[in-house]
Amino acid sequence: MHYNYKYRLNPPETLEEELLYHVDTCRQLYNHVLHLLNEADDIPARYEVQGRLPDLKSWWDDLGDVHSKVLQMVVKRVYDNLSTLKAQKEHGRAVGMLKWKPPREYRSLTYNQSGFELKNTSGRPTLWLSKIGEIPIHLHRDIPENATIKQVAVKREPTGEWYATFGIDVDEATPEKPQNPERVVGIDVGILKYAHDTDGYAIESPDFSEERERLERAQRDLSRKEHGSANWEKQRRVVAERHADLKHKRRDFLHKLSNHYARQYDFVAVEDLDAKGLVELPGNSRNRAGAAWGMFLRMLEYKCEREGTHFVAVNPRGTTKECASCGVSTEKPLWVREHSCPACGFEADRDANAAWNILSRGLEEVGVVHSESTPVETALPVDTSVSAKHVVETGSPTLKERTASAVSE
């Protein structure tokens, strides 16, 4: 299985200058390759362009200072970006052309297969990079012994911090998914409650209002500085740090919540949401973007694969309107938060009803029969709310204990 492990780097000033030099050389090569492709009548194959790199080194001396694999990955980056544009165009999106990268928008370089090594120098871990040197690294968690490091991406964040992301392959068998899963759950995501599942638990959306307020204050201060001045650069770092703080807290919440569902259940059904399309809809787009549904579903999918849990994404159309008990559709405006079926009398929270429909569709899609795939009670189920703060502070493994104790009370 493939994983990414991210670690903080602590390069001394001399090595940081060398890193910046290598990154900027890669940026110039990126722009050069993009220029060649724009001038060409027919776009050549990537390996044909990579084959021209030795000729480029004959007159471009700076390229000789950078590891050959790093240069090849720059060419691959251009072609990957072109493929992304092509895929968006095929899906009906209006796309333009790739733009040249200014220094602030190109901040990384990638070593693939060779040119790097983890070392232990004088009792401290270091990352050796070809033509750069040994950089102190903070290994806050061990890389598995049965893992093979395939590549290392080194990136300078807007905050000025350096990180190394290891792409590793772990030699382990993928857990076999149970043929008849017993612990099944359907999850409906939202804004008022981040997630509502078929076990009757509602996870509150994390409150990042304080972090957003600090970010907005920092942005207002930045707008008052003279662009490009020393004070402006200092305040820009502050804004970047505020952005990073908000990003890290959101990802922490999503990692712990997705980890909980992947480990606690044998079968997880979710909505196949077009998260990007939902964000682009008018009205309340900021909250939809902050919810990061797409990121949550991607995390949940790969963690289910890692844990041997069935993961199914179903068509979300009509999951809110359709009665989970009898299947009759009932129109409900967004402000109506309860489902009350006029046909069978089934009553439930709006999102709980949707979660049951998601689970039923998921089980049907994979052909799994489960004795409790539809609700039988017509009374409103107990809504056991779980604080997002609790998930972040104590981690997802305690979520079950927390909700179980709340039910017993």
Encode pLDDT of 88-125 as tens digits.
888 777 778 889 999 989 999 999 999 999 998 778 99
User: Contact 118/149 with Cβ under 8 angstroms?
Assistant: yes
> Looking at residue 397, what is its pLDDT?
43
Residue whose C-alpha is closest to residue 234's, from 245, 216, 218: 218
> Looking at residue 192, what is its pLDDT?
75
Judgement on whether residues 18 and 105 belong to the same structural domain of the protein: yes
Residue whose C-alpha is closest to residue 173's, from 138, 205, 146: 146
Query: How far are the Cα atoms of 50, 52, 71, 75, 181 from residue 55, in angstroms, in the given order?
Result: 10, 5, 13, 15, 59
Structure confidence at residue 288 as a pLDDT band (50, 70, 90)? very low
Mark 84-121 as b/e (b = at least 16 C-beta within 10 Å). Answer: eeeeeeeeeeeeeebeebeeeebbbbbbbeebbebeee
Judgement on whether residues 142 and 192 belong to the same structural domain of the protein: no
Q: Higher confidence at residue 248 or residue 387?
A: 248
Judgement on whether residues 264 and 357 belong to the same structural domain of the protein: yes
Is the residue at 392 inside a domain?
yes
- Residue 195 forms beta bridges with which residues? 189, 203
Q: Higher confidence at residue 292 or residue 80?
A: 80
- Whether the pLDDT of residue 368 is over 60: the answer is yes
Residue whose C-alpha is closest to residue 370's, from 175, 195, 188, 185: 185
Average pLDDT over residues 326-345: 73
Contacts of 207 (CB under 8 A, 6+ apart): 388, 389
Judgement on whether residues 162 and 192 belong to the same structural domain of the protein: no
- Whether the pLDDT of residue 258 is over 70: the answer is yes
Residue whose C-alpha is closest to residue 193's, from 278, 311, 291: 291
> Looking at residue 352, what is its pLDDT?
83
Judgement on whether residues 257 and 155 belong to the same structural domain of the protein: no
Structure confidence at residue 282 as a pLDDT band (50, 70, 90)? very low
Is the residue at 55 inside a domain?
yes
Average pLDDT over residues 181-194: 85
Q: Report the number of distinct structural domains present in the chain.
A: 2
Judgement on whether residues 216 and 292 belong to the same structural domain of the protein: yes
Work out the burial of residue 298: count CB atoms within 10 Å of its CB; fewer than 13 is exposed, 13-18 middle, 19 or more buried.
middle
Percent of the chain with pLDDT over 70: 84
Give DSSP secondary structure letters for 222-289. HHTSPTTSHHHHHHHHHHHHHHHHHHHHHHHHHHHHHHHHHHH-SEEEEE---HHHHHHSSSSHHHHH
Is the residue at 37 inside a domain?
yes
Is the residue at 117 inside a domain?
yes
Query: Residue 234: phi, psi to the nearest 5?
Result: -65, -45
User: Contact 137/116 with Cβ under 8 angstroms?
Assistant: no
Which of 170, 193, 223 corresponds to the end of one domain? 170
Judgement on whether residues 92 and 144 belong to the same structural domain of the protein: yes
Average pLDDT over residues 248-265: 91
Is the residue at 175 inside a domain?
no
Work out the burial of residue 228: count CB atoms within 10 Å of its CB; fewer than 13 is exposed, 13-18 middle, 19 or more buried.
exposed
Average pLDDT over residues 172-193: 83
Judgement on whether residues 214 and 355 belong to the same structural domain of the protein: yes
- pLDDT one-digit tens code per residue, 6-20: 999 999 999 999 999
Average pLDDT over residues 63-74: 96
> Looking at residue 261, what is its pLDDT?
93
> Looking at residue 369, what is its pLDDT?
58
Average pLDDT over residues 76-89: 91
User: Contact 103/117 with Cβ under 8 angstroms?
Assistant: no
Which of 142, 170, 198 corresponds to the end of one domain? 170
> Looking at residue 80, what is its pLDDT?
94
- Whether the pLDDT of residue 70 is over 90: the answer is yes
Alpha carbons 127 and 284: distance in angstroms, whole number: 44
Query: Residue 130: phi, psi to the nearest 5?
Result: -55, 135
User: Contact 267/184 with Cβ under 8 angstroms?
Assistant: yes
Q: What is the mean pLDDT of the chain?
A: 83
- pLDDT one-digit tens code per residue, 112-171: 999 999 998 778 999 999 999 999 999 998 888 888 999 999 999 999 999 999 999 888
Judgement on whether residues 286 and 188 belong to the same structural domain of the protein: yes
Percent of the chain with pLDDT over 90: 46
In three-state secondary structure terms, 97 is coil
Judgement on whether residues 139 and 196 belong to the same structural domain of the protein: no
Least confident interval from 160-169, 199-208, 218-227, 288-297: 288-297
Is the residue at 178 inside a domain?
no
- pLDDT one-digit tens code per residue, 14-63: 999 999 999 999 999 999 999 999 888 888 999 999 999 999 999 999 99
> Looking at residue 376, what is its pLDDT?
45
Which of 170, 192, 207 corresponds to the end of one domain? 170
User: Contact 315/327 with Cβ under 8 angstroms?
Assistant: no
> Looking at residue 363, what is its pLDDT?
87
Is the residue at 249 inside a domain?
yes
Least confident interval from 88-97, 296-305, 307-316, 324-333: 324-333
* Residue range(s) defining the domain that contains residue 67: 2-170
Judgement on whether residues 298 and 163 belong to the same structural domain of the protein: no
Residue whose C-alpha is closest to residue 249's, from 212, 274, 299, 285: 212
Average pLDDT over residues 165-182: 84
Is the residue at 331 inside a domain?
yes
Judgement on whether residues 291 and 143 belong to the same structural domain of the protein: no
Alpha carbons 132 and 152: distance in angstroms, whole number: 14
